[in-house]
Amino acid sequence: MINIDCLKSVLEKEDFENKGNKYKHVFEDGKKIEVDFSKKEIYYPENTVSRENLDAGEKADGIIINDHTTTNFSHPENFVVLICIFRLLKQGYRAQDIELEPKWPLGREAKSGKADILIKDNDTDALLIIECKTAQEEKKNEFEKEWSNMLRSSKNQLFSYFQQRPDAKYLCLYTADYVDEKVLPEYYLINVQDNDEYLKRCKTTGQKNIKGFKEADTAKQKWEVWKQTYSSDFATKGLFEDSMAYIIGKSKYTFEDLEPISSADINKKFHKYASIPMLNKAGEYVGTMTEGDILWGIKKYTNLNLKEAETIFIQDFPRKADYEAVSADADMEDLLQKAMNQNFVPVVDDQKKFIGIVTRKSIMEYCYEKLKNLPEDY
């Protein structure tokens, strides 16, 4: 976790200039961030245009700071916000398009939505909402704790902010850590723009009840669209890396995206999926690749390295077993039968095109909710 004890080292790694108890970084456009250890304050290139003039249409001339709770040393999360803002400005985002702790119009009053960072494009439209969390010890990791909450519950921060700013195109849960003398950012990026072609294809294959974000009226409905329609899709690249400011998302990963594993990653009990579906170029489901299949494949190709890997196809790896798929109109009995023997059930349309997966956990949650709502005398 980044705390006050290692903050100076972090700033030095991020190319801040040290002048006594003050650390400063000046960007190409002349804007600067200054961290004052004597006052325990963080100074961003703040907007000087009055709220009245902003409301009248005048453009901001710096970061709009609605609340200064994140501009001091009071909480380690503020240092995560600092690293995120620094990297956004370094990436080329304009200070005047960044807003700290925006206040959402709720009823007659403007209350803080408590989102850490809002990025705008074209001065008014919301492009990206970022929530920052600390990366602490495994049991106290607020970043992973909130991500786990997002995957299982509609009552989460980012989708409540999305409800207030439905014009947002992306949501991001962000953290930064300091491990092995390196600053290690990590994030989950969610695209909340509808894929109209995908929605059209789903509805033409009999999925009449499928919804997009545009049809969702509440935060819960928006989360359900992400969860059900888009299978909780997210990315871990495409915000900083080699992308340009205001162009978010990465369509293709390369070997340059591979990074060394830190000691923190090694020590984490960090399990995602032990098995993943395989598709061909036509988008058809062809089988399942497990973690064990990959390990045995690496063992088989003993001379495997990054250069030689370019000539080896994943289909060449021997597979222990392939998960059976179901069609989009399969009933719950069929799903349950498949889920008894596999961690997830691949779903295909009538042309064998892969649609997504239904996890064993989601099936159990569905059945539990149905049982819970049955009358007592059933």
Sequence-ordered list of residues with C-beta below 8 angstroms from that of 225, at least 6 positions apart, any chain: 211, 212, 213, 215, 216
Alpha carbon distance 149, 348 (integer Å): 28
**Among candidates 7, 79, 184, which has minimal Cα distance to 22?**
7
Same-domain pairing of 219 and 322: no
Range of the structural domain that residue 230 is part of: 7-255
Same-domain pairing of 308 and 368: yes
Say if 350 falls within a structural domain. yes
Same-domain pairing of 292 and 344: yes
Same-domain pairing of 160 and 17: yes
Same-domain pairing of 183 and 51: yes
User: 204, 227, 255 — which closes off a domain?
Assistant: 255
- Strand, helix or coil for residue 262: coil
pLDDT of residue 266: 44
Same-domain pairing of 214 and 322: no
Residue 245: exposed, middle, or buried by beta-carbon count in 10 A (0-12, 13-18, 19+)? middle
> What are the helix (H) ranges across 306-359?
306-309, 332-339
Same-domain pairing of 144 and 113: yes
Cα 128 vs. chain centroid, distance in angstroms?
11
pLDDT of residue 373: 75
- For the chain, the 3-state helix, strand and coil shares in percent, each to the nearest 5, are 35, 25, 45
Same-domain pairing of 238 and 289: no
Torsion region of 151: left, alpha or beta (phi above 0 gives left; psi -120 to 50 gives alpha): alpha
Say if 265 falls within a structural domain. no
Say if 378 falls within a structural domain. no
pLDDT of residue 313: 75
User: 195, 225, 255 — which closes off a domain?
Assistant: 255
Say if 362 falls within a structural domain. yes
Say if 263 falls within a structural domain. no
Same-domain pairing of 80 and 46: yes
Say if 220 falls within a structural domain. yes
User: 222, 255, 288 — which closes off a domain?
Assistant: 255
Total of domains in the chain: 2
Angle at 87 between CA 85 and CA 92, to 5 degrees: 100
Query: What CATH number is given to the structural domain containing 311?
Result: 3.10.580.10
Terminal Cα-to-Cα distance of the chain (whole angstroms):
52
Say if 261 falls within a structural domain. no
Question: Per-residue pLDDT for the chain (378 aa), expressed as one digit of tens each?
Answer: 899 999 999 999 999 999 889 999 999 999 999 999 999 999 999 999 998 998 898 999 999 999 999 999 999 999 999 999 999 999 999 999 999 998 775 444 444 457 899 999 866 789 999 999 998 755 568 999 999 999 989 999 999 999 999 999 999 999 999 998 999 999 999 999 999 988 888 888 777 788 999 999 999 999 999 998 888 888 888 898 766 889 897 544 454 555 555 555 544 434 455 688 888 878 888 888 887 787 777 767 656 565 666 667 777 788 877 899 998 888 888 888 888 888 889 999 888 888 888 888 888 877 877 787 777 776
Same-domain pairing of 61 and 193: yes
Same-domain pairing of 149 and 287: no
Say if 262 falls within a structural domain. no
Same-domain pairing of 91 and 61: yes
